Amino acid sequence: MIPFFPPDLFEQDREVLIDLVHEIGTTPDQKFILGTRTAAFEDALRTLYGAGDAIACSSGTSALTLVLRAMEIGPGDEVVVPAYGCAPLANTVAGLGATPVFADIDPWTMVADPRAMDDAVTARTKALMPAHMFSVMADMPTLRKIADDRGVRLVEDSAVAQGGVLDGRPAGTWGDAGVFSFVQVKTFGTAGEGGAVLTADPALGRTVRALRNHGQEGPRFVHQRLGLNSRFDEILAAFQLHRLPGLAARLERRARIAAYYTERFTPLRDAGILPPPPGRNGRCYYVYSLLADRRDALRDHLAEHGVASHVYYPQALPRQPAFAPYAPAGRSWPHAERAAARQLALPVYPHLTDAQVEHVADAVCAFATEGARR
C-alpha cells in the first residue's frame, strides 16, 4: 500500500531530533519555550518570506486566533470565510464571539471566490479570511483590492501554503497578517504542532507577540492585556532550523509530482475526473486533490490497487452541526457542497519514488478507462 501520509516523514532526521532533545534538555538554562532557537527560527522566517515580522506560536489554529484577537474582532463583528475548508476558518471566529459569514468557492480551484466574498461584506464586516486550499492559492491580488476598497482587514490563512508564490509574492505576505501551520504533514511540517504569524504591521506584530504569552509585553509577569498560552517549543524551533535548508528541494519534488499527475489527468475531464489547473504560479502542493464525479468509487478502486487516498471536508462548513447557527435558513453554497461530494486527494509527498507516482497515476487512469467502457 502506498500510504497517503507516510509514517516515515522524519526518518532521515531521527538522530538529529534525538540529539536536539538531549542538547536542549541538558543546557544549564533549561529553557524549553521562547528561547534563542525560537528567535532564530523567527528571524529565518522573516528572511525567507521577506516579512516585516514573524511570530512563532503553538499551532496554525492559535495563529488565526491571535491575529483576530489582535485585530479586536469580537461580538457584533463579522468575518467572511470560505464555505469549504478546515474547521478553524469558522471556529476561530465564532470562538471570539464574532460571526463567520460563509462565501461560496470557485468550483474548480476550491478556494474562496472573490466575488462571493465581496458580496458577503456588510456594515458589520471586520475582515476577509480566505484560505489557500490543497495545491492552489486564493486570488490574493483581487482579495487584497476588495479588502482595501471595503476598508476591512485581510487575514490570509496560509496554513497549507508554505513555499507557495503568487505573482512573485510569497503566501502569507498578501494579507494584513498571514498564518502558517507546522503540523507534521504540512509542506514545512515538524515533529509535532506549531504555527506562525507573518505581518508587515509593527503594531499588529507586537500585539500578537504579547497575546501568545499571556498578554505580557515588556517585564515578565506584567500583563497589559488578556492573552493566551500559544508559545513555541525550542526543540521544534531547532528542528525546523535544521530542516529549513532542504525545504526548497522538497517543494520542488512535490511540484514535479503534481505536474506529472496533472499532465496524466487533464485528458480525463470527459470521464468525470478533473485535476487542478496546470502551472506553478500560485501553487503550494500540500496535497494533490482531484474532483471526481464518482469519488467514492474512485477511492475504492485506488485502495484495491494499493493506493491510499483521502477525502477532506466531506461537508461544507455551513452544513457542519457546529456551524449551523451561522448558516441562514434557505441559503446554499452550491460549489462548496459539490466540492465536498467530489474532492479526493492523492499522495504527493516528496519521497515517493517515480515508480510509485506512476502507479498512482496509472490507477486513476485505469478507473477512468473502465468507466468510459461502461
Encode pLDDT of 78-119 as tens digits: 999 999 999 999 999 999 999 999 999 999 999 999 999 999
DSSP 112: B
- Listing DSSP states for 161-201 in one string gives -TT-EETTEETTSSSSEEEEE--TTSTT--SS--EEEEES-
Encode pLDDT of 44-86 as tens digits: 999 999 999 999 999 999 999 999 999 999 999 999 999 999 9
Say what the pLDDT of residue 242 is.
Answer: 95
Enumerate domains of the chain plus CATH numbers.
11-245 (3.40.640.10), 247-373 (3.90.1150.10)
Separation of CA 274 from chain center: 22
pLDDT band at residue 373 under the 50/70/90 scheme: low
Residue linked to cell 483521502: 310
Amino acid identity at 334: P
Encode pLDDT of 129-182 as tens digits: 999 999 999 999 999 999 999 999 999 999 999 999 999 999 999 999 999 999
pLDDT band at residue 370 under the 50/70/90 scheme: confident
Give dist(CA 210, CA 289) in Å, integer: 38
DSSP 223: B
Say what the pLDDT of residue 371 is.
Answer: 64
Say what the pLDDT of residue 76 is.
Answer: 96
Say what the pLDDT of residue 372 is.
Answer: 56
Pairing of strands 273-274, 288-292: antiparallel
pLDDT band at residue 121 under the 50/70/90 scheme: very high
Say what the pLDDT of residue 302 is.
Answer: 97
Give dist(CA 144, CA 362) in Å, integer: 40
Here the cell at position 80 is 467572511
Say what the pLDDT of residue 27 is.
Answer: 87
Say what the pLDDT of residue 374 is.
Answer: 59
Say what the pLDDT of residue 29 is.
Answer: 82
Say what the pLDDT of residue 222 is.
Answer: 85
Cβ-in-10-Å burial (0-12, 13-18, 19+) of 270 comes to: exposed
